[in-house]
Amino acid sequence: MSRVLRIELRRSAALGSALILLAVGTLLLFFVDRSVFTTGWMQLAMTQRLYLAVLWPLALAAGAWQGRREHRTNVTELFASTPRSRAHRAVPTLLAMALAVVAGYLAMGIAGGAWIAGTARYLPASVFAVLAVGVLALVAAVWLGLAAGRLLPSPATAPALGLAGLGVLLLLPGATRPHGWLALVFSPIYEMNLPDAYTTVPGRASVAQAVWLAALAVTAVLLVVSGGWRLRVAALLPVVLGAAVAIAAMPRDNRYVIDAVDPVARELVCAHDDPRVCVSRVHAGLLAEVVPPARAALTVLAPLPSPPTQVHEDTTTYVPARYPPWHDDVVLLRVDAGSDGHLANRDLVLAEVVAGAFAGPADCDHLAGPDEKMAAAYWLIGRAPATPGAVALWQNLRQRPEGEARARVVALRRAALGCTVQDGQLTR
Amino acid sequence: MRTVSAAETAPTTHPWAVDAEGLRVRAGRHLAVDGLDLTLGLGVHGLLGPNGAGKTTLMRALATVVKPAGGRLTLLGEPAGGRADLRRVRRGIGYLPQQFGFYPRFTVREFVEYMAWLKEMPKAAVPGATQRAIDRVGLTAKADARMKTLSGGMLRRAGIAQAIVNDPALLLLDEPTVGLDPEQRLDFRELLRDVGVDSCVLVSTHLVEDVVAACTDVVLINEGRLVHHGTPDDLAAQGGAGDAGDSPAERGYSALLRRHRAAGAATPEAGR
Amino acid sequence: MRLYLRSRRVPAALAGAVAGVAGLWTLWSVFSDSREVGVQLVVLTVLLSVIALTATLGGPDDELDRTAAFRWLPRRLAHLAAAFLVVVLPLLATLATGARFGPAWLVARDAAGLLGLTALGAAALGVGRAWFLPLGWTLAATLFPRSEPVLGRILTWQAQPRVSAAAAVTAGLLAVCGLLAYAVAGPARRAPAEAAQR
């Protein structure tokens, strides 16, 4: 059988399908919005799953195109006189198309991975679960396409099936409207867009999705090898069973994936020696880029009384609302990866750290406004800020004598830490 | 020569490769083979008959592509009707249909290997058998060309190659010489004689001189019934100077048909 | 004329296109409250119609057709023009109903561009593969449209709003190239052995 498998890999639609999936997937990854996946491996895996919106219908169409082969080439007469059963005969085709689709998807992941390999360090096990569900989805799609192409061998079946597949994917969230978790069971692209830095896909969700997709794949295989109506009706059984088990396994939270936060990804990882600069584990690859401007900023802040001595990443998540513990001597900095995988807004890190010295705890109501913080920060740095609002305040500060301006800046910091900032305090 | 397995050198337990008794086969709603009695043993048998006589339907029934609607059919010693398990029979059958379907992107070698796999040949024997079959039909030069690039005659020869790859005990060829030039037809007759030594070959054709040259006996059917089964010399002896035809065999053919049609017109309900 | 239509399986294609549009129109009317159909669905409906008509671009034996005594160029042009009308007219008709597939210029632009792309595919890859590029490109363009750089507007022209000049130019170019390629060359030649199959 391995000879025949090799022949099928070379001569069927397998090679073409793999290349098309790889090309389309890579184009989507790199031309739609690179910053979506450059944060880390989990974001890459989730974004790959999101682009299944295009790849899944294409896999359906590829399977239907291949499934039509026996009818298109008139070989049924010849093959009817051979001893090998239809099921046995279908195995190399099923294997070849599955291998092709898996290879295309994984190669797309490798292409994306090559882009972020330098800076993405955190690789949790759930990444592989997300990837596996994506792979299963494509295998189920191509096998379903094979079944459809065999059962409805018209030339219009392949593109129509692709469009129908897209229709199903797009309609699933709407059709299950109040129950978002149902859409999560059946749709491999649901809740996969714009992944947060600390996002994760809980194992239970992946398991439920995998069960459903595996049942779909089994049904597809049964339909491919079916000869009469009995087996075709029996093929409904795995689908129904799989749906039931998947629905039972999925928790009933409507925003299960969006609300999931990976605590390990949020843990702080710090650079050696003082002053301490820490980023979250998922951004650990960016630590080397954060440290120099952060330490320079701490040096700028050193003349202040009780200056901050550490810079930590701001691991606040808004959904669900979780805030890092507040310390007076720690400046919180927002760290993001840009579309090239490296630190975004590298030039602004210095100013942001200095401005962060004038921020207060999250549960505080009287905080300094962004313009005031920037004006104070740039006054300490000695340059002009960028935004017009901050520029006005900064010039106001500059016009005052040195001692008075310094006193105002120090007062702003004390007020921010004590949650007692008053409006326009800096320049009144 | 290739090595033969013990199973192949074991003496056959069946007296005839094909044993049909009152065979009835439908083609659509029409009963194309109607009460046919036929026994075929080793040798090359030519199947002649006018268009619509049921030749192709008979070939399809013998190839186990369609199930007989009535009567008894025994192929290679195994019953072939009803709910029989046909796998053992099919391993010993080679079939070239009239409308030869193929995978155009496969090369000749790959297609013959694929057919060998479909016929459940032992894996180790496949490459050697494929090469041998391709050599025997004279396609060695084109063995690695894609099937869609072959001309009509070469395509037919590729079809013959896939039919003989498993050295079948029962070889069924439906119009195998379509598109072959005269020299290729001579080679094909040589091949037929070679294969017919130790298997039963049934060749359905319109070319009477092919039948005369290569076949050990001739089967003539008309309207689903057996008209004549005998040697080519018998066939030629049936005809006289007044019958249509340019050769003795053709004259015998038209004479037999004329007589069968006259007999059928005289007693239209006989034998039903 | 009737034989030509039958050889190209035009009735089935027409039925498929119209049924598809009718089905989607019904779905929108039943399940949605707004009168304007979403842009995504409009583009996908146009694609569905174009795909239904793809098979009519080639007959069972194109080599035989090519040996005809008359000139094929004006006939192929007429065929494409008729296909354009078949795609556009039912959708324009819905503008008068409760589920409006519009705007009209978007429908016309996308129909012309997609038909041109399909005709180009038929001339280059053969009728059987002509739908590869329209399907893949349109799926990606409608799901992930980009309007920022000009290149983004060109690459996702199917989903751009009515006023976009880049999209109109792209669609026009595709329509013209496809029209010329298909009218002049006809469907791609197949190897004789392969042409004997369906």
Reported ipTM = 0.90
Candidates C41, C118, C127, C131, partner chain A, best to mutate (most A CBs within 10 A): C131
pLDDT, mean of residues A240-244: 95
Q: For C64-106, what is each residue's pLDDT tens digit?
A: 777 777 777 888 888 889 999 999 998 888 888 877 887 889 9
Q: What are phi and psi of C149, to 5 degrees?
A: -80, 160
pLDDT tens string C99-140: 788 788 999 999 999 999 999 999 998 888 899 999 999 999
Cβ(A413)–Cβ(A358) under 8 Å? yes
Q: How far is C194 from chain B (nearest CA, A)?
A: 6
Predicted local distance difference test score (pLDDT) of residue C188:
81
Distant-in-sequence, close-in-space partners of B19: CB < 8 Å, separation ≥ 6: B38, B39, B72, B73, B74, B75
> What does chain C come to in residues?
198
Confidence of residue A381 (pLDDT cuts 50, 70, 90): confident
Indicate the average pLDDT of chain C.
85
Asked if the model's pLDDT at residue A70 lies above 80, the reply is yes
Average pLDDT for chain A:
90
- Across the interface, whether the CB atoms of C193 and B147 are under 8 A apart is answered yes
Q: Output the pLDDT for position C191.
A: 66
How many Å apart are CA C85 and CA B70, to the nearest integer?
Answer: 56
User: Predicted confidence band at B8 (pLDDT cuts at 50, 70, 90)?
Assistant: low
What pLDDT, on a 0 to 100 scale, did the predictor assign at position B12? 67
Contact C193 B101 (CB under 8 A): no
pLDDT at B272: 45
Mark residue A190 as left, alpha or beta (left: phi above 0; alpha: psi -120 to 50; beta: remaining): beta
Asked if A332 contacts A280 with a C-beta cutoff of 8 angstroms, the reply is no
Banded pLDDT at C3 (limits 50, 70, 90): confident
pLDDT above 60 (res A22): yes
pLDDT in tens, A190-238: 988 888 889 899 999 999 999 999 999 999 999 999 888 999 999 999 9
Does B117 sit within 8 Å of A79, measured CB to CB?
A: no
Which of A77, A79, A82 lies nearest to residue B99, judging by beta carbons? A77
State how far the Cα of C198 lies from the Cα of C45, in Å rounded to an integer: 27
pLDDT, average across residues C15-32: 85
Question: Closest Cα to residue B172, out of A300, C153, A188, A77?
Answer: A77
Q: At what angle do helices C132-143 and A157-175 cross, to 10 degrees?
A: 20
Lookup: tokens for C74: 């004006």
Neighbouring subunits of C (3+ Cβ pairs under 8 A) = A, B
Residue A86 contacts residue A63 (beta carbons within 8 Å): no
Say if residue A416's pLDDT is above 90.
no
Neighboring chain A residues of B83 at a CB cutoff of 8 Å: none
Q: Report, as an integer, the average pLDDT of A159-184.
A: 89
- Residues paired with residue A10 on neighbouring β-strands, in sequence order: none
Q: How far is B118 from chain A (nearest CA, A)?
A: 5
pTM here is: 0.91
Banded pLDDT at B134 (limits 50, 70, 90): very high
Q: Determine the pLDDT at residue B11.
A: 63
Lowest mean pLDDT among A61-75, A90-104, A153-167, B2-16: B2-16
Place C197 in a pLDDT band, splitting at 50, 70 and 90.
low
Q: Note whether A228 contacts B: Cβ–Cβ < 8 A.
A: no
- Evaluate if residue C6 carries a pLDDT over 80: no
Write out pLDDT tens, residues B73-121.
999 888 887 666 788 899 999 999 988 999 999 999 999 999 999 999 9
Contact across the interface for A156 and C136, Cβ inside 8 Å? no
Across C142-168, average pLDDT:
87
Q: Choose the weakest-confidence range: A14-23, A47-56, A308-317, B262-271.
A: B262-271
Average pLDDT, chain B: 87
pLDDT > 90: percent of chain B: 39
pLDDT tens-place string over residues B185-200: 888 888 888 888 889 9
Contact B169, B202 (CB under 8 A): no
- Residue C184's pLDDT is what? 85
pLDDT by residue (tens digit) across A347-360?
Answer: 889 989 998 888 88
Hey, which bits of A225-374 come out as E strands?
268-270, 277-280, 310-313, 330-333
